[in-house]
Amino acid sequence: MSDLTGVLLMAYGSPDNIEDVEAYYTHIRRGRKPSEEQLADLVGRYEKIGGSQLNRITFAVAEAMQARLNDGEADAQDGSERNFRVYVGMKHWHPYIADTVDTMAGDGVKRAVAMVLTPQYSKMSVGEYLRTARERATEHGIELIDVHQWWDERGYIDFMADRVKEALARFNESDRSQVHAVFTAHSLPERILQWDDPYPKQLLQTSEAISAAAGVHSWHFAYQSASHTGEPWLGPDVLEKLEELRKSGVRSVLVCPVGFVSDHLEVRYDIDVEAAEKAKELDMHLERTASPNDHAAFVDALTHVVRRHAAQLTGQRA
Ligand code: FEC
């Protein structure tokens, strides 16, 4: 019988329905309830997109990943004999990360790989997920190998380059050479710069690698989805970037959200509604790259990352 290897696949989490938005928002705010106005604003955003697909997509990725990891053919290639079980843990909704680690322990998992569904590392984003997972895993004596970042996985870069080419084809042929790509990711408070956080650099490296693979020459980077917390957040914001580009004569933009991997609120509202409205107001043609979601080639890329990290676990027959 081969070893049972756990994979703790983590994502942000999303409320299951409108009634859950207040509890979800309160969790994001570390226990502080939002004001009525803040709540109404968030509920309005979820209603506008017909609810987020984040939870459903995350479970679909986990299922596809488990099937791929246990694929006999792939096993034969690296000569290993493994039995992977993929578990989903959410940062801000059920099943919460700590509860999932309890489930893993109950199933007898002794070794696991911990991975977050966002490609770049920040101490404030991925670092928090991994810390929560490690604290609980330590209580159960589970050996955990962390995946810190995976933006540079070749399969992911190539996958995104294909999405860029696919989206470029949606512009008129005569406009295609004039399209400017704008890569985006979630903003974070500026204070992360004081820690020499790798997040901004990794975002630029991701954008550069995808641009090179897709043959894009004019590209920019902008942040999106900053919260109003009273402190400065990283910029420029994508809406400001659109204004700046328009002023310099650009009329066609391709937005590629490289900090996110699924069709959730920050993509479906902040880009598809808010940025699209801004582009319309500026008389610009805006397209967005398709999200990776549970696309087979994307799951394959994630699977490679997990296999590589699983090989570092003790007791693993590699
Ligand atoms: O589809 C959904 O239902 C969930 C979409 C969602 C994703 C997401 C990803 C990231 N966030 C990151 C950082 C912050 C920080 C704060 C913050 C606040 C919110 C709020 C909502 C929300 N985030 Fe989020 N985020 C998503 C949703 N996020 C809703 C609260 C309302 C608002 O501000 O719009 C500020 C917290 C505070 O108030 O102190 C910081 C980062 C990511 C990307 C990495 C990841 O996926 O974990 C970084 C998806």
* 316 Cα: distance to centroid of ligand 1 (angstroms): 36
Atom of ligand 1 nearest to the CA of 229: 38
Beta-sheet strand order (sheet of 83-90) = 83-90, 4-11, 111-116, 143-146
CB 255 within 8 A of CB 288: yes
* 262 Cα: distance to centroid of ligand 1 (angstroms): 13
Please say if the pLDDT value at position 317 is more than 50: no
Which residue type sits at 289? T
Q: Whose CA is nearest to atom 38 of ligand 1?
A: 29
Q: How confident is the model at residue 318 (pLDDT cuts 50, 70, 90)?
A: very low
Q: What percentage of the chain reaches a pLDDT higher than 70?
A: 95
Q: How confident is the model at residue 310 (pLDDT cuts 50, 70, 90)?
A: very high
Angle between helices 199-214 and 154-168 (to 10 degrees): 60
Dump pLDDT digits (tens) for 32-89: 999 999 999 999 999 999 999 999 999 999 999 999 999 977 665 665 667 999 999 9
Residues near 210 by beta carbon (within 8 Å), at least 6 away in sequence: 157, 160, 161, 164, 183, 216, 256, 258
Atom of ligand 1 nearest to the CA of 225: 34
For the record, the structure tokens of 205 come out as 């490296």
Dump pLDDT digits (tens) for 222-231: 999 999 889 9
CB 113 within 8 A of CB 85: no
